[in-house]
């Protein structure tokens, strides 16, 4: 499920954030489980101790009711799957007191298999 123009969007985000010292990692064509696991690894990473903020950009196809679609066309819920990963726990303590920005760029298309 290729999203036309995504390579341009990624380049623009990188070009915008690099001058501010952000470390940028790009993951492509993740299925639903991989998407959730990569976000989990990001929020639990201890390197956030030395940062002042964190940003995550998710660019993917979307579905109804806040659902994002992985490359396998399985859905990931922003509310039920992603938001809980940011819960204030020992695993996310490096992010405590930091601004965390989550940007989602997706269509809200109705998809039927």
16 within domain boundaries: yes
Domain span including residue 73: 6-20+29-105
Three-class SS state of 105: strand
Is there a contact between 111 and 73 (Cβ–Cβ < 8 Å)? yes
111 within domain boundaries: no
51 within domain boundaries: yes
Domain of residue 58, CATH code: 3.40.50.1460
Tens-place pLDDT, residues 19-73: 999 999 999 999 999 999 999 999 999 999 999 999 999 999 888 788 999 999 9
**Phi and psi dihedrals of 62, rounded to 5?**
-125, 175
110 within domain boundaries: no
69 within domain boundaries: yes
Q: What is the pTM of this model?
A: 0.85
DSSP secondary structure string for all residues of 47-93: GGGG-SEEEEEEE-EE-STTEEE-TTS-EEEIIIIIGGGGSSSGGGG
Residue with tokens 């990001």: 42
112 within domain boundaries: no
pLDDT, residue 17, reads 95
Domain count, the chain: 1
113 within domain boundaries: no
Length of the chain: 113
Task: Name residue 104's beta-bridge partners.
Answer: 58
């Amino acid at each position: 499920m290729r999203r036309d123009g995504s390579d341009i969007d990624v380049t623009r985000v990188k070009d915008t954030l690099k001058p501010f010292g952000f470390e940028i990692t790009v993951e492509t064509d993740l299925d639903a489980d991989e998407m959730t696991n990569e976000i989990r690894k990001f929020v639990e990473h201890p390197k956030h101790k030395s940062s002042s903020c964190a940003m995550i950009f998710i660019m993917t196809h979307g579905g109804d009711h806040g659902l994002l679609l992985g490359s396998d066309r399985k859905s990931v819920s922003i509310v039920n799957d992603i938001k809980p990963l940011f819960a204030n726990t020992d695993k996310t303590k490096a992010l405590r007191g930091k601004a965390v920005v989550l940007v989602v760029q997706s269509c809200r298309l109705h998809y039927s298999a």
